[in-house]
Amino acid sequence: MSRISIVGVPSSAASYAAGQDLAPAALRAAGLPAKLIAAGLEVRDEGDLPVQVWKPDGGHPLAQNAGPAAESLRQLAGRLAPVLARGDFALVLGGNCTIALAVVAALRRLEAGAPGLLYADRHYDLNTPDSTTDGALDWMGLAHALALPGCVDVLTDAFGPRPLLEPRQVAWLGVQPQRATDWERAQAARLGLHVATGQALAADPAGAAAAALDRLPAGPLAVHIDVDVLDFTDAPLAEDTGGRNTGPTLGQAEQALTLAARDPRARALSIGELNPTRSAGDPDALPRFADSIARILAVTGRG
């Protein structure tokens, strides 16, 4: 049986503002490692990468902090490579959603077949510096993984040969299309992406997950959750507070991710866009989330 190895990425460099850099410490403080052990899992904590706190990047306003963000992701891929090579299951505590790229890059180094990515997120994350003016790379990550036109080379080329992913290697869960840019909707249609909406995920969590998993290749599987996929009223955790009273509850998302974790291809789970300040008025939110993660991973049979 393999163990769970935890790696923290306390970085908000690619974000809209500071906050996600606090998430790895907050998840540990909420008892996540102890909950995993209580679920019968063997746990090894690999510690955290260097802290990066978002700051305005006036020199690159449309792709802010791209250099530091790319360096952090290269470090993460390097940290994960030996973890995965020895057979451990990687639990990556972000940070923002760009961490999914580093997880896929580390899986690609295993040379065990084309990796797949199950991406639970309210957004496509297919923007580029040409399609939006906010300059936050955390909703541009998959555009760079797919090497879409208009991406910045420092991130697109951070992991070796481009593209990091082909469209057939990614499936989305929980997208709210009306919150996407016109560019993202056009790319999703052009590339024929597999997308389950937030409404579909809430209505049938297991069915939506099963359909997505069926579309992914036979190689090692990375599972990523951006906590903004959740109904913010049910689970006030995300940097993006706009998902109120829409999308799956934490319990519904747990059903979908439990099915994904059971998949024999699954090798990693990454958590992005958690801002601990959002749950200040709901002190049970972080412990409840940690409980869900422990239950999701307990079913893998890795204990």
> Encoding tokens for residue 288?
């409840």
Does residue 303 belong to any structural domain of this protein?
A: no
pLDDT, tens digit, for every residue of 25-66?
999 999 999 999 999 999 999 999 999 999 999 999 999 999
Share of the chain above pLDDT 90, in %: 97
* pLDDT band of 253, cuts 50, 70, 90: very high
Distance CA 167, CA 145 (A): 10
Distance CA 20, CA 94 (A): 7
pLDDT, tens digit, for every residue of 117-162?
999 999 999 999 999 999 999 999 999 999 999 999 999 999 999 9
Q: How many residues does the chain have?
A: 303
Please report the sign of the dihedral spanned by the C-alpha atoms of residue 247, residue 218, residue 163, residue 75: positive
Strand-pair partners of 7: 92
The pLDDT of residue 174 = 98
Distance CA 93, CA 235 (A): 17
pLDDT at 87 over 60: yes
Omega of the bond prior to 192 within 30 degrees of 0, cis? no
Residue carrying structure tokens 């990066």: 52
Distance CA 40, CA 43 (A): 9
Q: What is the pTM of this model?
A: 0.97
Does residue 281 belong to any structural domain of this protein?
A: yes
The pLDDT of residue 299 = 78
* pLDDT band of 303, cuts 50, 70, 90: very low
Q: Which amino acid, residue 57?
A: D
Distance CA 11, CA 73 (A): 10
| DSSP for 96-122, written as a single string | STTHHHHHHHHHHHTTSS--EEEEE-S
Does residue 112 belong to any structural domain of this protein?
A: yes
Nearest Cα neighbor of 300 from 258, 241, 239 is: 258
pLDDT, tens digit, for every residue of 187-198?
999 999 999 999
Nearest Cα neighbor of 107 from 226, 205, 99 is: 99
The pLDDT of residue 302 = 45
What integer best gives the mean pLDDT of the chain?
96
CATH number of 135's domain:
3.40.800.10
- Quote the crossing angle between the two packed helices 250-262 and 205-215, to the nearest 10°: 40
Does residue 207 belong to any structural domain of this protein?
A: yes
DSSP code of residue 60: S
* pLDDT band of 199, cuts 50, 70, 90: very high
Please tell me the total count of domains within the chain: 1
Nearest Cα neighbor of 176 from 214, 257, 231 is: 231
Residue carrying structure tokens 């410490």: 25
- Quote the crossing angle between the two packed helices 66-85 and 99-109, to the nearest 10°: 40
The pLDDT of residue 301 = 52
- Quote the crossing angle between the two packed helices 250-262 and 285-298, to the nearest 10°: 20
Domain that holds residue 85: 4-298
CB 122 within 8 A of CB 174: yes
